[in-house]
Amino acid sequence: MTLQDLFLEKFGIKPEVLEFCNKVEQEAAARFREVEEIGEFNQAKVLAACIKHGLSESHFAGTTGYGDGDIGRETLDAIYAEAFGADYAMVRMQMISGTHALSTAFFGSLRHGDELIYATGQPYDTLHRVIGITPTQGSLIDHGVKYTQIALLPDGSVDHQKLADSITKQTKVVAIQRSKGYSFQTGFPVSEIKKMVETVRSVRKDVLIMVDNCYGEFVEKLEPTEVGVDAIVGSLIKNPGGGIANTGGYIVGGQTFVENAARKLFSPAMGLQLGATLGENKPMAMGFFMAPNMVMGSVKSAIFMDEVFGRLGFKTSPPKTVTRTDTPQVIRLGSAERMTAFSRGIQKAAPVDSMYAPEAVYMPGYADPIISAAGSFIQGSTSELSCDGPIRPPYDLYVQGGLTWHHGKIGCMMALNEMYIDGLVEIPK
């Protein structure tokens, strides 16, 4: 049986879809090569960190209780710090998600009367209640932190003038969100983040600059910590977990910032020296080692989605003209039927839960029904191939992840196939 036969017979992909996708893949070869080069660079970077810090079988044993003297945990912290070009790192399974890690970092450094400025407009949805943009008991604002948000300019760029003018004596932390979040705008590449650092430093040298790095790790050769940012924060069930870490978050940066976060996560009397790892050191370390390759696969999948659906006349973001800095790809599908068919294709191509058909549902806090497809080994992991979006004009679907490029490719073909079978798209000859 040939690969073509497999696709046609086992997956039910129509010959027209297959032929079109094969052609697109060949034509996108130059873009793929660029991504592979970044992948190789980051693999070397992580491997060098593992070697330098002597990662060893003995580090995988794990601890219980307090987790005192856990050399595996200490070594993984050192590897993260090294690979991301920073002094200190806290990588912990006790941080359950990106939101938790970001919340820990904010509460670690901000005190009553301090000001937090978001330089990149409205932050990711889950942070609205952490900050108190949506009034919430226990939020930063509830704790007396002042919050200022610098609206993006109409073209989606950062308003550097307003950012500089907004920094006062009270300003303690300037936050930058690297990824686009749920919007059609593109993310902020590390080169842009560097310019934001220059703007902030031109006003005050001692403001802490922190980047929400979710979805950004290993998409470029440099991380924000390598261009003057004080700290980066992210989730281990996204890029740096490599699809293997079972849970966790990280905070990487300067000593004071990371230690303050550790005091918040555990207690003021404890710091970086505690936190049982049970059996998780190995999946966390192995996941970090695999992450550059996994991210490479996710980015190739995103580029393939962009090429395939772009050629069929759909608007996509980021377009190929901009520097990519995160893994998600947005496809403006233009109708609820197409969103449903696309999601069904992604779900049919999942290694786990492929037998379910996604349906749009109303979720608490959202005005419109949400459709999502995810068949992942790790619950909620969006580094595995998944898609989601609110069913409302202009019908944008967010597609992200893919543990391997070849799975991303099959998912894309299946998504197109479902749309094609339902007569929702025409395929050029």
Ligand X SMILES: *Cc1c(COP(=O)(O)O)cnc(C)c1O
Q: Could you write out the DSSP letters of every residue in 174-224? A: EEEE-S--SSSS----HHHHHHHHHHHHHH-SS-EEEEE-TTTTTTSSS-G
Least separation, in Å, of the C-beta of 237 and ligand X?
Answer: 6
DSSP conformation class of 361: B
Judged by CB under 6 A, the stretch of 20-28, 176-184, 288-296, 332-340 that binds ligand X is 176-184
Integer Cα distance of 259 and 72 in angstroms: 19
User: Within 10 Å of residue 270's Cβ, how many Cβ atoms?
Assistant: 13
Judged by CB under 6 A, the stretch of 54-62, 110-118, 177-185, 421-429 that binds ligand X is 177-185
Q: Does 98 bind ligand X (CB under 6 A)?
A: yes
Burial 298-314 (b: 16+ CB within 10 A, else e): bbbbbbbbbbbbbebeb
Given the complex with ligand X, which of 171 and 177 has the nearer CB atom?
177
Q: Are 241 and 231 in contact (CB under 8 A)?
A: no
Q: Which strands make up the sheet holding 386-390, listed edge to edge?
A: 315-317, 329-332, 396-400, 386-390, 370-374
Contacts of 205 (CB under 8 A, 6+ apart): none
Least separation, in Å, of the C-beta of 175 and ligand X?
Answer: 10
Contacts of 290 (CB under 8 A, 6+ apart): 242, 243, 244
Q: Does 183 bind ligand X (CB under 6 A)?
A: no
Per-residue mark of binding to ligand X, 235-264 (x: CB under 6 A): x-----------------------------
Least separation, in Å, of the C-beta of 183 and ligand X?
Answer: 10
Number of residues that bind ligand X (CB under 6 A): 12
Judged by CB under 6 A, the stretch of 10-18, 59-67, 91-99, 410-418 that binds ligand X is 91-99
Q: Which of 77, 82, 192, 212 binds ligand X (CB under 6 A)?
A: 212
Q: Is 257 exposed, middle or buried (0-12, 13-18, 19+ CB in 10 A)?
A: buried
Q: Which of 72, 132, 181, 224 binds ligand X (CB under 6 A)?
A: 181
Quick check: bond before 224 cis, omega within 30?
no
Q: Which of 84, 88, 118, 124 binds ligand X (CB under 6 A)?
A: 124
Judged by CB under 6 A, the stretch of 9-17, 194-202, 210-218, 307-315 that binds ligand X is 210-218
Given the complex with ligand X, which of 78 and 233 has the nearer CB atom?
233
Given the complex with ligand X, which of 264 and 409 has the nearer CB atom?
264
Angle between helices 15-27 and 405-421 (to 10 degrees): 140
Q: Does 215 bind ligand X (CB under 6 A)?
A: yes
**Longest Cα pair distance anywhere in the chain, in angstroms?**
69
Judged by CB under 6 A, the stretch of 27-35, 79-87, 212-220, 402-410 that binds ligand X is 212-220
Integer Cα distance of 41 and 292 in angstroms: 9
Least separation, in Å, of the C-beta of 330 and ligand X?
Answer: 13
Judged by CB under 6 A, the stretch of 37-45, 94-102, 139-147, 251-259 that binds ligand X is 94-102
Q: Does 381 bind ligand X (CB under 6 A)?
A: no
Q: Does 185 bind ligand X (CB under 6 A)?
A: no
Backbone angles phi, psi at 91, to 5 degrees: -115, 115
**Interface contacts to ligand X, rule CB under 6 A:** 97-99, 124, 126, 177, 179, 181, 212, 214-215, 235
